[in-house]
């Protein structure tokens, strides 16, 4: 059997006495597009923070390609090939769009803490910057400071930074949040295109996006995964209908 | 970092002109006191540029940067004394390099402690280290020489190209040489992968972690580079003054470089250069004219923080787009009116300040005070009345004319927007 790209085993997170993540086990195979859905406050973003190293888990393990990464720093996890985007845009606001992407490429291209080369004359990095600019549709705004971009462009840059470094496991936290219908369509196409050959785990509220994009879906409710399966399996699941889709369906 | 935003070539031309001016200045102003001042300014420019690697580039507010300037200065003095005792066969010309290495070593030592954090915690740790070093400078007599400091004689050791550093003019060109080399290297540093990541860490240390970088290590390396160039400046100071005392590494010296960098404009590479020149000139000239010069310097700092937080360089950059679009002259009438009103206010306020200063601190000199080329009798109520009247009138005139400047800018900005594609 193939090693899963990302495997969570009984992952837990407590904040004080409150348990936010209460024993999540999940296995994502390489090349899969996996969506995590769930009502507000279910712990979806917290789960991402545990996987990407922003918070240390209170218990359980995270394995990336079979290697234990539990409790590692975000930088160490990123260097092992996992990158992520944020629900609230988390850019370098006083750097230009192309500099944002360039920075996201420097470590993975091998320049690390180099101070004897010109950052903007590294032909290998520059070629990749161009590629990411084209794929995210930001070529025309390359010299604009990230902090003054429009919301949709900031979201595109957010994804661009996440995929630039060539990580093979990508976590996207609500990539289409707050977007108009046409922007959402464009973003879905972008995600589909940039994650070819990669493993994608995404948190998403928009059911249209989820059913359109994901190979498999996990439903997170109160810090526990109550169901995992294909779109049709999830639609058919009684537990999901009770816990989530039924209520969410009327709420949305 | 936006630095040469005047346009690539225009920016380079300005740099070449500045270097040419630095080289020609002793010919243009052939005076001994001017040369002394120019040496001081040259050293200060290197020091302020090194400080901006922390403040502007990496976003670290340090209250103890003079530690690296001072410690390296002392190291340089001891090094020159070793050369003088024929224990070290190196020319004094290259001592600034070793002073820089000493600065980098101290930067590594103290940086490990302070760069684990950023923001307020970093600022507090930097202050603590500055106080610690200042306190030990009075205890460790053998290295710091106690109250009187350590002296040296720079005209020792092997000479290179016949430069023995006896005449001050040679020291000036040594400072210019090391200064230009340092400035170019520091500018180059901002454009390296590490330099770019320092700016990224300034903007968003959290995201930097998620693209593979350790913000602590980026900050530490930046800190060491900054301490290296502070060390070069300290080495130049040691050669120039042939003495180092504890005041060179005091928190007052650290505060001074912070004020210069801020007033010059920390967001722009050339900002600290302007800050170092302007503030040094104010310190050098104003301190001869009035005992209240520190107050005026403080006021200038407060005004910058409140009304021009991007510093002098920020004001310059603000005027470049209208200059390029050839609409800058629309500002002149409102600027002149505001400046006239502002001057009236300033004259009145300065008169009041100086009269107060005279009455409270210099009363033993009698009631007469020379103020703007006139004699003022500080016992006369009329003198006070006139000063108050001028201040109040100036204030209201300024309040009336200042909106004109805003109006002119609105006009220009809308023109620029229309011209933009």
**pLDDT in the model for residue B6:** 46
Any CB–CB contact under 8 A between A123 and chain B? no
Count CB atoms within 10 A of the CB of residue B300.
15
Q: In this structure, what DSSP letter does residue B192 have?
A: S
Q: What's the rounded Cα separation, in Å, for the pair B276 and B53?
A: 15
pLDDT band at B1 (very low <50, low <70, confident <90, very high): very low
Any CB–CB contact under 8 A between B309 and chain A? no
Contact A118 B207 (CB under 8 A): no
Smallest CA–CA distance from B189 into chain A, residue? A115
Q: What's the rounded Cα separation, in Å, for the pair B311 and B255?
A: 16
Q: Which residues contact B102 (CB under 8 A, 6 or more apart)?
A: B71, B72, B75, B76, B231
**pLDDT in the model for residue A242:** 80
Any CB–CB contact under 8 A between B221 and chain A? yes
**pLDDT in the model for residue B357:** 84
B 270-299 residues with CB < 8 A to A: none
Least confident window among A129-133, A138-142, B154-158: B154-158
pLDDT band at A244 (very low <50, low <70, confident <90, very high): low
Residue whose structure tokens are 């933009």? B420
Residue B364 has pLDDT above 80, yes or no: no
How distant is the Cα of B211 from the closest Cα of chain A, in angstroms? 5
pLDDT band at B263 (very low <50, low <70, confident <90, very high): very high
How distant is the Cα of B205 from the closest Cα of chain A, in angstroms? 9
CA separation, residue B180 to residues B45, B129, B174, B194, B226 (Å): 10, 30, 10, 22, 16
Q: DSSP of B108-164, one letter per residue?
A: HHHHHHHTTS-HHHHHHHHHHHHHHHHHHHHH-HHHH-GGG-EE--SS-S--BTTB-
Residue A245 has pLDDT above 70, yes or no: no
Contact A107 B210 (CB under 8 A): no
Residue whose structure tokens are 């510093």? B311
Chain B residues whose CB is inside 8 A of the A103 CB are 196-197, 200, 208, 211
pLDDT digit string, tens, across residues B279-292: 999 999 888 888 88
Mind spelling out the 3-state secondary structure of A220-237?
EECCEEEEEECHHHHHHC
Six-digit token string for B174: 């040594």
Q: What's the rounded Cα separation, in Å, for the pair A71 and B99?
A: 42
Contact A93 B203 (CB under 8 A): yes
pLDDT band at B362 (very low <50, low <70, confident <90, very high): confident
Any CB–CB contact under 8 A between B234 and chain A? no
On the CB side of A224, CA atoms within 13 Å amount to: 8
3-state secondary structure of A62: strand
Higher pLDDT: B355 or A9? It is: A9
pLDDT band at B4 (very low <50, low <70, confident <90, very high): very low
Higher pLDDT: B178 or B360? It is: B178
Six-digit token string for B209: 């972690």
Q: Which candidate in A101, A110, A113 is best for mutational testing of the B interface (most B CBs within 10 A)?
A: A113
**pLDDT in the model for residue A1:** 52
Chain B residues whose CB is inside 8 A of the A164 CB are 211
pLDDT band at B370 (very low <50, low <70, confident <90, very high): confident
pLDDT band at B10 (very low <50, low <70, confident <90, very high): confident
Residue whose structure tokens are 């302070």? B114
Contact B192 A114 (CB under 8 A): yes
Long-range CB contact pairs, B107-113, < 8 A, 24+: B107/B68, B107/B223, B107/B224, B107/B225, B107/B226, B107/B227, B107/B228, B107/B230, B107/B231, B108/B220, B108/B224, B108/B227, B110/B67, B111/B219, B111/B220, B111/B223, B111/B224, B111/B227, B112/B220
Chain A residues whose CB is inside 8 A of the B221 CB are 113, 115
ipTM here: 0.93
Contact A75 B221 (CB under 8 A): no
A 170-209 residues with CB < 8 A to B: none
pLDDT band at A249 (very low <50, low <70, confident <90, very high): very low
Residue B356 has pLDDT above 50, yes or no: yes
Residue B156 has pLDDT above 60, yes or no: yes
Interface size A-B, in CB pairs within 8 Å, comes to: 96
pLDDT band at A252 (very low <50, low <70, confident <90, very high): very low
**pLDDT in the model for residue B5:** 46
Least confident window among A21-30, A212-221, B215-224, B361-370: B361-370
Residue B7 has pLDDT above 60, yes or no: no
How distant is the Cα of B182 from the closest Cα of chain A, in angstroms? 15
Q: Which residue in A79, A99, A115 is closest to B194 by CB distance?
A: A115
Q: What's the rounded Cα separation, in Å, for the pair B187 and B189?
A: 5
Residue B366 has pLDDT above 80, yes or no: no
Any CB–CB contact under 8 A between B4 and chain A? no
Smallest CA–CA distance from A93 into chain B, residue? B203
How distant is the Cα of A78 from the closest Cα of chain B, in angstroms? 5
Residue B210 phi, psi dihedral angles, 5° rounding: -85, 5
Residue whose structure tokens are 């002259």? B329
Domains of chain B and CATH, by start: 8-310 (1.10.3470), 325-419 (no CATH)
Higher pLDDT: B199 or A41? It is: B199
Chain A residues whose CB is inside 8 A of the B189 CB are 115
Higher pLDDT: A170 or A240? It is: A170
**pLDDT in the model for residue A246:** 55
Residue A251 has pLDDT above 50, yes or no: no
Chain A residues whose CB is inside 8 A of the B200 CB are 92, 95, 99, 103
Q: What's the rounded Cα separation, in Å, for the pair A217 and B324?
A: 56
Contact B193 A117 (CB under 8 A): yes
pLDDT digit string, tens, across residues B64-108: 999 999 999 999 999 999 999 988 899 999 999 999 999 999 999
What is the mean predicted confidence (pLDDT) over A102-131? 94
B 172-201 residues with CB < 8 A to A: 188-189, 191-197, 199-200
How distant is the Cα of B195 from the closest Cα of chain A, in angstroms? 7
Chain B residues whose CB is inside 8 A of the A92 CB are 199-200, 203-204, 207
Q: Which residue in B194, B199, B211 is closest to A104 by CB distance?
A: B211
Any CB–CB contact under 8 A between B266 and chain A? no
Q: What's the rounded Cα separation, in Å, for the pair B90 and B18?
A: 31
Q: How far apart are the first and last CA of chain B?
A: 25
What is the mean predicted confidence (pLDDT) over A136-162? 95
Question: Do the Cβ atoms of B129 and B67 come closer than 8 Å?
Answer: yes
**pLDDT in the model for residue B8:** 61
Higher pLDDT: A247 or A191? It is: A191
Q: In this structure, what DSSP letter does residue B231 have?
A: H
Residue B270 has pLDDT above 90, yes or no: yes
Smallest CA–CA distance from A111 into chain B, residue? B193
Any CB–CB contact under 8 A between B229 and chain A? no
Q: Which residues contact B125 (CB under 8 A, 6 or more apart)?
A: B113, B114, B117
How distant is the Cα of A72 from the closest Cα of chain B, in angstroms? 12
CA separation, residue B211 to residues A78, A82, A139, A214 (Å): 6, 9, 21, 25
Question: In chain B, pLDDT over 70 holds for what percent of residues?
Answer: 98
* Helices B119-139 and B95-114, axial angle in degrees (round to 10): 120
Least confident window among A43-47, A76-80, B325-329, B361-365: B361-365
What is the mean predicted confidence (pLDDT) over A232-245? 82
What is the mean predicted confidence (pLDDT) over B296-311? 93
pLDDT band at B3 (very low <50, low <70, confident <90, very high): very low
Q: What's the rounded Cα separation, in Å, for the pair B113 and B125?
A: 8
Contact A90 B204 (CB under 8 A): yes
Residue B306 has pLDDT above 50, yes or no: yes
Domains of chain A and CATH, by start: 6-251 (3.40.50.300)
Six-digit token string for B17: 């002109």
Contact B213 A107 (CB under 8 A): yes
Residue B255 has pLDDT above 70, yes or no: yes
């Amino acid at each position: 059997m193939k090693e899963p790209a990302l495997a969570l085993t009984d992952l837990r997170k407590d904040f004080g006495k409150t348990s936010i993540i209460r024993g999540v086990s999940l296995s994502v195979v390489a090349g899969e597009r996996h969506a995590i859905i769930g009502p507000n406050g279910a712990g979806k973003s917290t789960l991402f923070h545990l996987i990407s190293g922003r918070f240390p888990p209170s218990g359980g393990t995270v394995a990336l390609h079979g290697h234990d990464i539990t409790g590692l720093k975000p930088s160490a996890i990123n260097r092992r090939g996992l990158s992520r985007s944020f629900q609230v845009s988390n850019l370098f606001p006083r750097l230009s769009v192309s500099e944002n992407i360039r920075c996201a490429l420097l470590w993975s291209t091998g320049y690390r803490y180099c101070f004897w080369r010109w950052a903007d004359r590294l032909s290998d990095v520059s070629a990749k910057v161009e590629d990411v600019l084209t794929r995210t549709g930001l070529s025309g705004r390359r010299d604009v400071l990230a902090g003054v971009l429009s919301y949709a462009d900031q979201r595109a840059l957010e994804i661009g930074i996440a995929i630039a470094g060539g990580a093979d496991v990508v976590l996207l936290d609500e990539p289409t949040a707050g977007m108009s219908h046409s922007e959402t369509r464009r973003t879905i196409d972008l995600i589909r295109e940039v994650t070819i050959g990669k493993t994608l785990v995404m948190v998403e509220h928009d059911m249209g996006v989820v059913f359109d994009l994901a190979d498999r879906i996990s439903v997170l409710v109160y810090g526990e995964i109550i169901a995992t399966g294909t779109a049709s399996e999830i639609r058919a699941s009684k537990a999901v209908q009770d816990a989530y889709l039924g209520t969410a369906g009327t709420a949305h | 970092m936006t630095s040469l935003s005047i346009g690539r070539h225009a920016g380079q031309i300005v740099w070449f002109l500045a270097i040419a001016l630095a080289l020609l200045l002793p010919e243009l102003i052939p005076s001994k006191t001017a040369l002394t001042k120019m040496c001081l300014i040259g050293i200060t420019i290197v020091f302020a540029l090194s400080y901006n690697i922390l403040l502007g580039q990496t976003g670290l507010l340090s209250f103890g940067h003079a530690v690296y300037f001072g410690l390296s200065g002392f190291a340089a003095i001891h090094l020159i004394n070793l050369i003088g005792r024929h224990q070290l066969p190196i020319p004094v010309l290259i001592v600034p390099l070793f002073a820089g290495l000493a600065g980098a070593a101290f930067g590594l030592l103290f940086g490990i402690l302070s760069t684990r954090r950023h923001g307020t915690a970093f600022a507090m740790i930097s202050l603590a280290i500055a106080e610690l070093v200042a306190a030990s400078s009075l205890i460790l007599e053998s290295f710091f020489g106690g109250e009187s400091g350590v002296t040296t004689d720079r005209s020792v050791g092997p000479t290179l190209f016949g430069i023995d550093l006896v005449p001050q003019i040679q020291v000036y060109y040594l400072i210019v040489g090391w200064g230009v080399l340092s400035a170019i290297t520091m500018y180059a540093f901002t454009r390296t992968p590490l330099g770019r990541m320092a700016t990224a860490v300034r903007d968003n240390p959290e995201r930097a972690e998620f693209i593979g970088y350790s913000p602590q290590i980026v900050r530490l390396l930046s800190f060491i580079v900054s301490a290296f160039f502070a060390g070069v400046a300290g080495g130049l100071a040691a050669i120039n003054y042939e003495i180092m005392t504890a005041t060179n590494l005091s928190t007052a010296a650290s505060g001074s470089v912070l004020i210069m960098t801020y007033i010059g404009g920390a967001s722009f590479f050339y900002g600290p250069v302007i800050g170092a020149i302007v503030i040094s000139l104010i310190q050098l000239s104003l301190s001869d004219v009035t005992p209240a010069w520190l107050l005026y310097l403080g006021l200038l700092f407060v005004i910058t923080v409140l009304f021009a937080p991007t510093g002098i360089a920020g004001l310059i950059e603000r005027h470049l787009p209208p200059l390029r679009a050839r609409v800058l002259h629309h500002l002149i009438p409102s600027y002149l009116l505001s400046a006239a009103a502002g001057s009236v206010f300033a004259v009145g306020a300065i008169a009041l300040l100086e009269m107060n200063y005279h009455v409270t601190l210099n009363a033993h000199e009698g009631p007469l005070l020379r103020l703007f080329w006139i004699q003022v009798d500080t016992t006369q109520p009329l003198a006070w009345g006139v000063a108050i009247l001028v201040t109040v009138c100036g204030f209201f005139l300024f309040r009336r004319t200042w909106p004109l400047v805003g109006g002119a800018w609105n006009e220009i900005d809308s023109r620029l927007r229309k011209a933009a594609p």
